[in-house]
Structure 1
Amino acid sequence: METDRQLRALDALETTAVVRAGLARRLWSSIWPVLAAVALAIGVWELVVLSGWKPAWVLPGPGEVLPRLWHDLAEPGFWAGLGLTMRRALIGFAVAVGVGTVLGAIATRPRSLRLAVGSLITGLQTMPSIAWFPLAILLFQLSESAILFVIVLGAAPSIANGLLTGIDHTPPALLRAGRALGLRGIEWYWHLMLPAALPAFVTGLKQGWAFAWRSLMAGELLVIIGHHTSLGVRLEYARQANDSVEMLATMIVIVTIGIVIDRLFTAADHALRNRRGLIAE
């Protein structure tokens, strides 16, 4: 009996070690491409600076920018500005998710409405976010509402299109099964269409976040409210002061946030598709 317990304990330890090794390999396989891309970007950046293409005060190298970035990260004011930017991004994206989901669900039926609203959604998606700001400022002046307005208009069409794409690719057999079960109205969407469209919807959310982030950065550059030092405001103040080191340091932060959020959406999409058997591990 003692021998059997020892063997089971060894098997459990071996299984745990194998699981940890697998997790470590998957983690490394997802991290090393990002690290390689960062190293490549820094290398190319340094080579361009060494080529003398632009003066150092216009295009400083990593040796100047990275220490400034480290210094900024130690400032409480930087984190307060980052918090303001992220709060605007999350609120705007949440509103865009609600608007895009409702718009996409409404546009699925009837067919005439789908053709009309679908074309409108596509047209809105192709509209550059910066083009909405004159109207936003006219409607809401220089305010938080102007920024929120442009974020929603930038992100909601992509989210709606993601939902519409998922609904369009719902298997006909699944639709017939839903009708046979008597699903109608809200139940039709809640129990059948939305779950079936979820993979494409997550892709739409990912694209919508990208548009929301771009719209927010454009908004913070154009709509400066009071003395709040958000990321966009820091970028604009650095431009006005011809401080290219601070400008590039802030741009690195903006790009890093974009990469991190993109990886989170990619992980969620991978987990969802794997759970549904759409990809192999």
Structure 2
Amino acid sequence: MKKIHYGIFAVPFIILVWVLAASHYPALVFPGPLKTFAELKKQLITPDFYHHIGISLYRLFVGFAIASVCAFVVGLLAGISKQFRQFLTPMVMLFQATPPMAWAPLLILLLDLGNAPMIAVIVIAAFFPIVVNVIQGMEQIKVSHIRAAQTLGANRFQLAWHVYLPEVMPSAFTGMVVGFGIAWRSLVAAEMIGGNAGLGWLISSSGQIGNSPLVMVGIITIGILAMFFELVLLHPLKKRFASWAPRA
């Protein structure tokens, strides 16, 4: 008998709770599934809806790519050099303890409205979870693997490519999954505070004019996109490039 995957019950459960909660409030305040999906159907044929999605995704992927590359480089250097790691640790602790959204007002003042401050928020949000995990991955590399490669004549570049990078990938991808979630939430919040477009701005502006069905559509869209990219992009990449090094 085929085993039941209990995840299939999550969506009906959420809809049931949603219906029960919406029944206690006026539709203009908290719309139920029927009004929300009617608004979603309307937005799916509206070009502006896709424009806001595109703006948010552009900011997300540019910022996340910059954060990932920088975190990989800095994390590898910190793993190789004890002195650089000691220099880096206080800064990582300081910035990681600061919510990324705390930087948003200052970044908007420095970089003006538009893509630049939103991308900067994403870089700050995603960089530190990734770099911390890369450093931890470097610290878990077995000395015997490094010595074996050196015995075989590996130079620094070969050591980094054939030993450090493969060994650190599982930890790095874990950091990327965490960093992606933080970056996505930070972007939406930043767009709500100082954006002029994007899903966060759409939710904020819709709430200000009392269009609660569109607010719910924006929230649902954010959740669906986050699940899509994590399940379709990040986890398959982790399985493809980091499945060979499980650690107990």
Using the size of structure 1 for normalisation, the TM-score is 0.79
Structure 2: tracts of 5 or more residues without a match? none
Does residue 1:131 correspond to 2:102, yes or no?
Answer: yes
- CA apart distance, 1:240: 0.8
Could you give the per-residue CA deviations for residues 108-156 of structure 1, whole angstroms, max 9, x where no partner exists? 2332321331342243223211101122123212232111111111111
Structure 1 match to 2:237: 268
2:213 corresponds in structure 1 to 245
Pairing 1:176-187 to 2, within 5 Å after superposition: 176-187=147-158
Seen in structure 2, the aligned counterparts of structure 1 residues 273 and 102 have a Cα distance that, compared at 3 Å, is closer
Query: What does the per-residue CA deviation read over 1:73-116, in whole Å, with 9 as the maximum and x for residues that have no partner?
Result: 12122112211211111111111111111221221233232133
Distance 2:242 2:62 in 1: 27
Provide Cα deviations, 1:144-169, integer angstroms capped at 9, x if missing partner: 21111111111111111121121122
> Does residue 17 of structure 2 align to residue 48 of structure 1?
no
The answer on whether the counterparts of 2:170 and 2:245 sit within 8 Å (CA) in structure 1 is no
* Residue 43 (structure 2) aligned to one of 58, 72, 75: 72
TM-score (norm 2): 0.89
RMSD: 2.3
Distance in 1 separating the partners of 2:195 and 2:52:
13
**Does the aligned pair in 2 maintain the 1:154–1:211 contact within 8 Å?**
yes
SS in 1 for 2:113: coil
AA matched with 1:56: A
Q: Report if the CA contact (8 A) 1:159-1:208 is conserved.
A: yes
SS at 2:221 equivalent:
helix
Q: Cα distance, 1:41 vs. partner?
A: 1.1
- Higher RCO, Cα 8 Å, sep 6+: 2
Other structure's SS at 2:83 match: helix
Structure 1 counterpart of 2:222: 254
In the alignment, residue 49 of structure 1 is paired with which amino acid?
Answer: A
Residues 122 and 157 in structure 1, CA contact (< 8 A), matched pair in contact too: no
| Counterpart AA for 1:205 | M
AA paired with 2:206? A
Q: CA deviation at 1:249?
A: 0.9
1:178 CA drift (Å): 2.0
Partner-residue secondary structure (3-state), 1:108: helix
2:204 is aligned with 1:236 = yes
Pairing 1:153–2:124 present: yes
Q: Is the 8 A contact 2:64 2:183 kept in 1?
A: yes
**Identity of counterpart residues, as a percentage?**
27
Selected match of 1:188 from 140, 154, 159:
159
Structure 1 residue 91 corresponds to structure 2 residue 62: yes
Query: Equivalent residue of 1:137, what SS?
Result: helix
Q: Choose 123-132 or 190-199, whichever is displaced more.
A: 123-132
1:113 aligns with 2:84: yes
- 2:176 pairs with 200, 205, 210, which one? 205
Give the SS at the match of 2:80: coil
Q: Which amino acid aligns with 1:246?
A: L
- Give the letter aligned to residue 21 of structure 2: V
Gaps of 5+ in 1: 1-24
Tell whether 2:146 aligns with 1:172: no
